[in-house]
C-alpha cells in the first residue's frame, strides 16, 4: 500500500458520516427514456418542465412540495382517519402538534399553503397597504396583490448575490423596514412577511438575532410579524449549525423560540411537515382567529378539516413530530449538501452557501451569452431534462412574472434553476447521477441557444407558459 492510499484509509477510518435515520420498506420503479423520447416529450411540454408527464421523468427534482415519502407511522395513521364532517379527532391531534412544536394558540387547517395565504391576505390586508418581506415568493406575493397589497422586498442585499457567503442570507434589512415606516407610516404596513428559509434566494436561512431584532422594531411601531413557516424546520437547523449559542439546542427548541417572535404563521405542510397534501394557519390573536375560522368555511371547508380528509390531518400531525427530529433534519440537509459540494468541487456555479431544500444552479453563470429575456434558467432546465430525464424548475425571469401596475417583466437579479430534493425519497447514488448530468450539461454550455415565450397565462405564468427554441 503506498503512503497516499494508507493516509486516505486513515482519514476514512476516523470519519463519522451521517446516514438516513430510516430504511426502505416500499419502492417505486423509475422509468428511463431515450434522448429521442425526451426531445419529443419536451416539445409537447412547450419546453416547460411543469408540463411534462411524470412518467417521462427519471429523477424528479421539480419540487420538494408534496413529494416526500411518508413513514410507516404516517401510513398507519391514515387508517385511523376519522372522516366525520365536523370535529374529527384527527383535527385535535393536528391542533395539539402545531401548538406543541410551533407554539401558536389557534389553528385553522387549509388544503395547502396557498389556501392559507389566500385567507390571511384577504383578512389582514387593506387595499394600498404595503407588505415588506424577505424576498417575494410567487404564490405569497400574488395573494397579497390580489388583496390590494403592494409587496416590498426588504431582504439584505447579499441575498441577491449568488456568490455572497453570508451565513444568513434570508435576513431582513431592518434599515429598509425603518425607511418604509418613515416614508409611509406604520399604519400603511399590513404586516411584515418573514419566510424561513427563503425559497427564491436559494433556501437561505434567517438568524434568530435578526427575527428578535425585527420583533423589537415592529413592537415599537405596532406592526405584526407573520411567518411563512413552510421550511422553518430547515431554518432551525441552520441556526443550530451557524449561530452562536444554539449548537446545544434541539431543532424543536429553536423552532419554538423563533416562532415566539412572530404573531402568526401560514404553512405549506407539503414541505417540512412530510405530507403529500395539507396546509395550515396558526395565530395567537383570538379576533384574527375568529375571522379566519369564519372565512375558511367559505373557501376551504369546515374549520375542523379545511379541505383535507381526516386521514390527511392525521398524517400531518405525525409528520410534524417526525420533521422536528434532529436526526431527520441532519440527514435531509446532509443530502442537499452532498449534491452541492460535489457540484462545487467540479467548478459548477451554484448559489452559495448551499441552502436547505435544493441546489440552485446559477443560470447566468452557466450561459453568460444569453440575455435574461432569452430565459437562461428555463433553457438550463430543458437541457438537463434532455441530457438525462432529470426534472428541475426555473426560478428566474419566468417565475418572477410581471409588475402588477406597469405590466413589465420583472428582471430578478437571480436567474436560477432549482434541483429540489424531495424528503426521504432519493439515495446518494441518485445524487451522483444528478451531479454527473449537470456536469455534462455544463461542459456543453457554449453551444446552447435560449428560448422565447410563446404562451403566457395571466397568473403564476411559470406553471403553464410555453416556450420555443430561438
Ligand atoms: N412552494 C415550491 O416548489 C410549490 C410550487 S411553486 C409555487 O417551492 C413557500 C415558501 C413555498 C410554497 C410553495 C408556498 C405555497 C408558500 N410558501 O404549494 O400552495 O415554497 O402548498 O404552498 C412550491 P402550496
Q: What is the CATH number of the domain that holds 397?
A: 3.90.1150.10
Looking at the structure, tell me whether residues 352 and 317 fall in a common domain.
Answer: no
Answer yes or no: do 157 and 131 share one domain.
yes
Q: Virtual CA dihedral for 268, 216, 130, 114, nearest 10 degrees?
A: 10
CA atoms within 13 A on the CB side of 176: 16
- For residue 384 the three cell numbers come to 438537463
* Residue 251 contacts residue 212 (beta carbons within 8 Å): no
Q: In the Cβ-directed half-sphere of 226, how many Cα atoms lie within 13 Å?
A: 25
Local confidence band at 3 (pLDDT 50, 70, 90 cut-offs): very low
On the question of pLDDT at 347 being above 80, the answer is yes
- Cα–Cα distance for residue pair 175/318, rounded to 1 Å: 40
**Sequence-ordered alpha helix ranges (H) in 223-325:** 232-242, 251-260, 286-299, 310-323
Are residues 314 and 218 part of one domain? yes
Average pLDDT over residues 103-115: 98
Name the packing angle between helices 376-388 and 35-44 (round to 10°).
140
Domain membership flag for residue 5:
no
Given the CA of residue 269, which atom of ligand 1 is nearest to it?
21
The CATH number assigned to the domain holding 313 equals 3.40.640.10
66 CA to centre of ligand 1 in angstroms: 10
Residue 266 located in a structural domain: yes
Instruction: Answer with the one of 295, 323, 351 that is the final residue of a domain.
Output: 323
Same domain? For 144 and 238 the reply is yes
Please give the average per-residue pLDDT across 115-126, as a whole number: 98
Pairing of strands 451-455, 393-395: unpaired
Same domain, 390 and 359: yes
Which residues are near ligand 1 (CB < 6 Å)?
A: 63, 65, 112-114, 137-140, 195, 199, 228, 230, 268, 270, 279
Task: Please state the rounded mean pLDDT for residues 163-188.
Answer: 98
Domain residue limits at 98: 72-323
Tell whether 58 and 158 lie within a shared domain: no
Structure letter (DSSP) for residue 280: E
Specify if 150 maps to a domain: yes
Quick one: DSSP state of residue 456?
Answer: -
Cis peptide before 411 (omega within 30 of 0): no
Do residues 286 and 107 make contact, with C-beta atoms less than 8 angstroms apart?
Answer: no
The predicted pLDDT at position 14 comes to 85
Q: Which of 462, 461, 412, 346 minimizes the C-alpha distance to 201?
A: 412
Q: Taking all residues of the chain, what is their mean pLDDT, rounded to a whole number?
A: 96
Q: Is residue 340 part of a domain?
A: yes
In a domain, 425, yes or no: yes
pLDDT of residue 2: 40
* Within a domain: 1: no
For residues 150 and 272, state if they share a domain: yes
Cα of 425 from ligand 1 centre, angstroms: 19
Q: Which three cell numbers stand for residue 142?
A: 400574488
Catalytic residue among 35, 40, 85, 455: 85
C-alpha–C-alpha distance, residues 235 and 233, integer Å: 5
pLDDT reported for residue 11: 55
Phi, psi at 216, each rounded to 5°: -65, -45
What confidence score (pLDDT) does residue 7 get? 47
Measured between alpha carbons, how far is 255 from 236 in angstroms, rounded to an integer? 6
From 323, 345, 367, the end of a domain falls on 323
Of 323, 354, 370, the domain-final residue:
323
Q: Residues 432-437: what's their mean pLDDT? A: 98
- From 48, 64, 139, 197, the mutation candidate for ligand 1 (largest count of ligand atoms within 8 A of CB) is 139
Query: Would you say 208 and 246 are in contact if contact means Cβ atoms under 8 Å apart?
Result: yes
**pLDDT band at residue 1, thresholds of 50, 70 and 90?**
very low
**The pLDDT of residue 6 is above 50:** no
279-283 vs 393-395, strand pairing mode: unpaired
Quickly count: other Cβ atoms within 10 Å of residue 452's Cβ: 12
CA-closest candidate to residue 71, choices 24, 39, 117, 115: 24
Same domain for 213 and 360? no
Whole-prediction pTM: 0.95
Same domain, 223 and 353: no
**pLDDT at residue 339 tops 50:** yes
Residue 361 near residue 348 (C-beta atoms within 8 A): yes
Same domain, residue pair 377 and 308: no
Q: Supply the residue whose CA is at minimum distance from atom 16 of ligand 1.
A: 113
Cell for 387? 441530457
Higher pLDDT, 263 or 7: 263
Q: pLDDT-based confidence at 12, cuts 50/70/90?
A: low
CA distances from 51 to 3, 55, 56, 90, 344 (A): 54, 12, 11, 35, 30
Residue 11 included in any domain: no
pLDDT tens for 366-407 read 999 999 999 999 999 999 999 999 999 999 999 999 998 899
Is residue 308 located within the same domain as residue 407? Answer: no
Average pLDDT of the segment spanning 144-149: 97
Catalytic site residue 123?
no
pLDDT for residue 4: 43
Query: Does residue 282 sit within a domain?
Result: yes
| Residues 105 and 216 both lie in one domain | yes
What is the mean predicted confidence (pLDDT) over 219-233? 98
Nearest to 19 by CA among 426, 336, 419, 335: 335
DSSP 343-373: HHHTT--B-SS--SSEEEEEHHHH-TTS-GG
- Give the Cα separation of 283 and 263 in Å (integer): 6
Q: State the closest ligand 1 atom to the C-alpha of 270, by its place in the atom list counted from 1.
A: 21
Q: What is the domain count for the chain?
A: 2
* 46-95 residue pLDDT tens: 999 999 999 999 999 999 999 999 999 999 999 999 999 999 999 999 99
Ligand 1 atom with least separation from CA of 112: 21
Amino acid at each position: 500500500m503506498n503512503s497516499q492510499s494508507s493516509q486516505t484509509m486513515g482519514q476514512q477510518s476516523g470519519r463519522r458520516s451521517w446516514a438516513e435515520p430510516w430504511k426502505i420498506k416500499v419502492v417505486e420503479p423509475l422509468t428511463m427514456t431515450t434522448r429521442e423520447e425526451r426531445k419529443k416529450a419536451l416539445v409537447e411540454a412547450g419546453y416547460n418542465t411543469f408540463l411534462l408527464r411524470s412518467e417521462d421523468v427519471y429523477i424528479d427534482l421539480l419540487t420538494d412540495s408534496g413529494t416526500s415519502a411518508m413513514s410507516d407511522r404516517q401510513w398507519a395513521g391514515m387508517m385511523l382517519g376519522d372522516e366525520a364532517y365536523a370535529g374529527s379527532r384527527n383535527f385535535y391531534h393536528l391542533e395539539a402538534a402545531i401548538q406543541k412544536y410551533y407554539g401558536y394558540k389557534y389553528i385553522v387547517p387549509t388544503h395547502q399553503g396557498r389556501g392559507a395565504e389566500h385567507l390571511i391576505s384577504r383578512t389582514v390586508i387593506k387595499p394600498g397597504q404595503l407588505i415588506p418581506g424577505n424576498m417575494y415568493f410567487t404564490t405569497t406575493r400574488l395573494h397579497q396583490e390580489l388583496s390590494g397589497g403592494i409587496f416590498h422586498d426588504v431582504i439584505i442585499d447579499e441575498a441577491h448575490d449568488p456568490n455572497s457567503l453570508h451565513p444568513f442570507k434570508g435576513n431582513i434589512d431592518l434599515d429598509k423596514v425603518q425607511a418604509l415606516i418613515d416614508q409611509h407610516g406604520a399604519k400603511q404596513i399590513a404586516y411584515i412577511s418573514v419566510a424561513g428559509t427563503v425559497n427564491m434566494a436559494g433556501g437561505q436561512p434567517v438568524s434568530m438575532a435578526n427575527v428578535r431584532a425585527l420583533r423589537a422594531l415592529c413592537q415599537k411601531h405596532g406592526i405584526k410579524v407573520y411567518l411563512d413557516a413552510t421550511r422553518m424546520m430547515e431554518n432551525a437547523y441552520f441556526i443550530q449549525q451557524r449561530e452562536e449559542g444554539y449548537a446545544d439546542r434541539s431543532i424543536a427548541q429553536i423552532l419554538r423560540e423563533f416562532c415566539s417572535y412572530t404573531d402568526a404563521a401560514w404553512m405549506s405542510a407539503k414541505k417540512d411537515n412530510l405530507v403529500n397534501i395539507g396546509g395550515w394557519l396558526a395565530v395567537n390573536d383570538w379576533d384574527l382567529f375568529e375571522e379566519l375560522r369564519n372565512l375558511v368555511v367559505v373557501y376551504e371547508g369546515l374549520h375542523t378539516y379545511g379541505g383535507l380528509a381526516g386521514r390527511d390531518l392525521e398524517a400531518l400531525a405525525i409528520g410534524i413530530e417526525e420533521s422536528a427530529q434532529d436526526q431527520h433534519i441532519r440527514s435531509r440537509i446532509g443530502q442537499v449538501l452532498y449534491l452541492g459540494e460535489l457540484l462545487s468541487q467540479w467548478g459548477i456555479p451554484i448559489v452559495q452557501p448551499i441552502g436547505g431544500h435544493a441546489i440552485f444552479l446559477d443560470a447566468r453563470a452557466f450561459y453568460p451569452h444569453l440575455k435574461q429575456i432569452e430565459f437562461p434558467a428555463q433553457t438550463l432546465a430543458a437541457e438537463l431534462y434532455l441530457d438525462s430525464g432529470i426534472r428541475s424548475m426555473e426560478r428566474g425571469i419566468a417565475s418572477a412574472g410581471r409588475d402588477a401596475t406597469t405590466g413589465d417583466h420583472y428582471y430578478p437579479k437571480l436567474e436560477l434553476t432549482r434541483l429540489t430534493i424531495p424528503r426521504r425519497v432519493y439515495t446518494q447514488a441518485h445524487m451522483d447521477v444528478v451531479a454527473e448530468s449537470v456536469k455534462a450539461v455544463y461542459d456543453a454550455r457554449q453551444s446552447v441557444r435560449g428560448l422565447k415565450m410563446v404562451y403566457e397565462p395571466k397568473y403564476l405564468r411559470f406553471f403553464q407558459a410555453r416556450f420555443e427554441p430561438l
